[in-house]
Copies of this chain bind each other. A is one copy, B any other.
Amino acid sequence: MSADLTARLLTELDRLVLIDPHTHINPHAPASKTLADIMGYHYYTELAHSAGLAKSRIEEPGLGPKEKVGRLVEWLDKLDNTIQVSWLIELCQRFFGFQDDRITPKNWEALYDNAAKKMAESDWETQCLKQSGIEKVFLTNDFDDPLAGFDTERYIPCLRTDDLVFHLAKPEVRQRLAKATQIDVTNTATLKDAINKLFVHFVKNNVKACAISLPPSFTPRQPGLHEVRAPLQKALNGEAMTADESARVSEFVFWSIAECCADHKLPFDLMIGVNRRVYRDGVYQGQDLFDQRVSLIQYQELFNAFPQVTFPVSVLAQASNMELVSYAWIFPNVVTNGHWWYSNIPAHITVDTRARLQAAPRTKQIGYYSDMYKLEFAWPKFQMYRRILARVLAEDFVIDRRWTETQALDLGKQVLRGNVETIFGVK
């Protein structure tokens, strides 16, 4: 009975057309061309590498797409338990007429060819979005992205600011900033001007969020100008900096960006908790991990200082979810946002979803984003989430709290779509 109920709710949730509020889609090449684009997703390369496939076999210069897929397929039998591989199988079944339940050395070539044929259709991008029930897709744009040459109503810009906050000391970042803004950054004032000019450019182009990923050690604060001046000069001169000096610059840039979010009325997506390059010989995008010893208490000054800015917060460590729920329950400007990266597996999503739906206002929860690099992944990833959401709605709300199915569905639709509209101001 509970299973039937869940299935009924899922059917209804499936009908909803969605806006995906965080992805890494390239709007100039949003869909895949071959299975290599799909299986090149870091989840498969890093898992195959973790299971034993040499990095040099995956990242060999000049390796053709079909051969790359062939090499990866040989390792799939070691990974077929993972939910990540289930996304792959499900999308191949849905989009490419794949009939088997495993991709193997025996069946992959036919799949590769069928997929290539399908993806070669001129309207594949639109077909894929339609079959996925996705209407609009948030991007992750470099701060110097010209934002030209694509439909910003379908592919909604999001200003990603990691480079500015953490890598301003790198010459190429400063050059990109200079080129993008035509401002000669020489001090705190001109740096603020340059940042503001980026916001103006993005706002002109339908930006709906600013975003950043943050290491566990970062604690936002507004440093005194006297603390920042000297370190900033060093950064601008490309001189060596101590960890403390770097921190002052990062704090200053981060705070300035938050001020721009306030001025330009943009939500500021915080993705909290990643350590970069932990596994230094890992495959591309398969090197980052985390330290669970992080707390949202580190963000108290930020949340207090910017009541007018909405902060959709994603956390990497599952241990952080309870804090996230509690901070969203207390702070009007803190919103729960999806299930990020290592948290994005059913075991974690289930408990996180339960806690969020039980304790934070329903208006302050963004249920899910795909984080995808290619459009084909929206469907299986959202489908994983929808199944969990349907079950939690069935068990916790319809059965335990005797809600009607309609009431439960309204809640589900709100966290799946409604809140994306209201929080980011997009319809």
Contacts and interface: CB of A to CB of B under 8 A. Distances in A.
Interface of A: 46-47, 49-52, 78-84, 86, 101, 275, 278-282, 286-293, 295-297, 300, 303-304, 307, 317-320, 322-323, 325-332, 342-343, 345-348, 351, 354-355, 357-364, 387, 396-397, 400-403, 411
Main SS of chain A's interface residues? helix
A47 B292 contact: no
B320 A292 contact: yes
A402 B337 CA distance: 30
Nearest to A329: B50
Given A291-B295, A295-B293, A330 B50 contact: yes
Contact of A297 (B289, B347, B359): B289
A199 B150 CA distance: 63
A83 B358 contact: yes
A262 B186 CA distance: 52
Contacts of A326: 289-290, 342
A394 to B, nearest CB: 13
B342 A347 contact: no
B50 A332 contact: yes
7 contacts: A80-B362, A81-B358, A83-B359, A101-B402, A322-B348, A345-B355, A345-B358
Contacts of A347: 351, 354-355, 358-359
Contact of A51 (B286, B345, B363): B363
Nearest to A388: B400
